[in-house]
Amino acid sequence: MVHPLIARPDYLTALWLPAEGGVTTVRLSLDADQRGDELAALVGGLLDVVRLDEHTDMWINDLGVWGWREPNVMATRVAGAHGMDLQPYHGPVVLTGGADARGDTVGLDDTTATMLASVAFYGATEGPIRPDEIDGHRFYEFDARRYRHGA
């Protein structure tokens, strides 16, 4: 369950999706250098970012596929719901808001955080996906209208 988030000026709100599953609300520093260190620690190493849309970034471990054998099903669901469905994502990820006009990372608002957590747990329109359903040879496409298995 995701608890209500309170917008605070002294930190950024983000969601952490560990490789083993689950969603945790995290607070990130406003200082860009410190935030980079926090993000790298949360994803377990070398940091990269996938822009899901103009309001959502997914921070990943750039070497995740080699460090975690099993896909992060929740992260793959969220990416799929945003049209990033060509591969499963491996390792822990952090979801933040997009970037402001200066290119600085922004936090998630309550509505976006709740929606992302819901998609992580349940997918965009259908029930949960089992970890064994994502094996690197198949992928899943999510959108607001339908769920279909791609080959």
| Residue 93 to residue 116: CA distance in whole angstroms | 12
pLDDT at 92: 94
The domain of 107 spans 12-150
pTM comes to 0.76
* Type and span of the H or E element at 13: strand 12-17
For the segment 15-41, the average pLDDT, to the nearest whole number, is 90
pLDDT bin (cut points 50, 70, 90) of residue 62 is confident
Is the residue at 77 inside a domain?
Answer: yes
Is the residue at 4 inside a domain?
Answer: no
Q: How many CB atoms lie within 10 A of CB 88?
A: 24
Q: Assess whether pLDDT exceeds 60 at residue 22.
A: yes
Is the residue at 6 inside a domain?
Answer: no
- Total domains in the chain come to 1
Q: How many CB atoms lie within 10 A of CB 83?
A: 12
Instruction: Convert the pLDDT of each residue in 83-133 to its tens digit.
Output: 887 788 999 999 999 888 898 999 998 888 888 888 888 776 554 444 444
Is the residue at 5 inside a domain?
Answer: no
